Amino acid sequence: MRHERIALAAALAGAAWGWAAVAQQPVNTTQTKLYNTVKQKLAAGKQVFGITISSPDPNIYCAAANAGYDFTWIEMQHSPLTFGDVAHMIYACRGAQAMPFIRVPDATESDIQKATDIGAIGIIVPTVDTVAKAEAAVKWAKYPPQGRRSQGSGQYGTLWGADYRQTANANMFVGIMIETPIGVDNAEKIASVPGIDMIFAASTDLGNFSGTKQGDPQYEAMVKRIHDVVLAHNIVLGGPQAWKDKPGFRFFQAPGETAILRLGAQVNLGLTPAPAARESRPGVAPIEGTEK
């Protein structure tokens, strides 16, 4: 009996140690399940397009998300949209064709945590001038060990499945925008930050912050610098839809829902697009905030 008790105690101790070892193992974040179709298409070498959304109306959002675009560029930097608005929009149109991406106001824990918790599968961070800001974009978008996103409540599980914690890092798309001459100067260091999926050459603000315009040698040199550095680091290069025929660009921001509505109405009525709706020169992007 004494030997049996010793054997039983040893077995229980071994089992306890085994459970403790399992509990201490890090969560596997290298799952291959990929439900972010934007990442799938980019991996296949395709271009992707996202309609810009500034309206809080879920009906407008669902119409846009199922209109044929690859993702929705939900605009929270230059709009009054709240995270409550956007949570309602994304949930109302769960299962939509377009992946929900959010341009957050800044690369803060609060902004990115809220965006990911409400179900955004892509984060776009504006005005990245420094390595620190690029690193913050990845840090707050990714769970450990790749980042420092905390695990809280949210509607992400309903949208992406019960195994979301195990698959989120592989599916989360992290994009940053270079919009200033300072960012251009730091492009090499910024592009070296691990975890960046896309770098966007911001057509409007490159001119805004430099005092130049498209076509000026200084402006075009900044775009070329971003282009060359990004592609050299095997990162997806983004820009406005007007640049869809420029070599190397594969991720595009399309116009907003109001511009698309107007253009769609003109097509429906068989009307010639108004002058403001036409590009004066091929490859010249419209100024952000104006209709194309």
Q: At what angle do helices 58-65 and 83-92 cross, to 10 degrees?
A: 50
Q: What values do phi and psi take at 52, rounded to 5? A: -85, 130
Q: How far apart are CA 104 and CA 224, in angstroms?
A: 26
Residue 57: what residue type?
D
88 an active-site residue? no
Task: Please report the sign of the dihedral spanned by the C-alpha atoms of residue 79, residue 278, residue 72, residue 127.
Answer: negative
The active-site residue, picked from 3, 78, 88, 233, is 78
Other beta carbons within 10 angstroms of residue 265's beta carbon come to: 10
DSSP helix/strand/coil, 93: coil
Residue 107: what residue type?
A
Q: Please give the full DSSP string across 31-86, using - where no structure is assigned.
A: ------HHHHHHHTT--EEEEEE----HHHHHHHHTTT-SEEEEE-SSS---HHHH
Q: How far apart are CA 135 and CA 147, in angstroms?
A: 9
Q: How far apart are CA 269 and CA 264, in angstroms?
A: 9
Q: How far apart are CA 171 and CA 39, in angstroms?
A: 7
Nearest to 74 by CA among 25, 38, 124: 124
Q: How far apart are CA 171 and CA 1, in angstroms?
A: 56
Q: How far apart are CA 156 and CA 149, in angstroms?
A: 14
Residue 280: what residue type?
S
Q: What residues act catalytically? A: 78
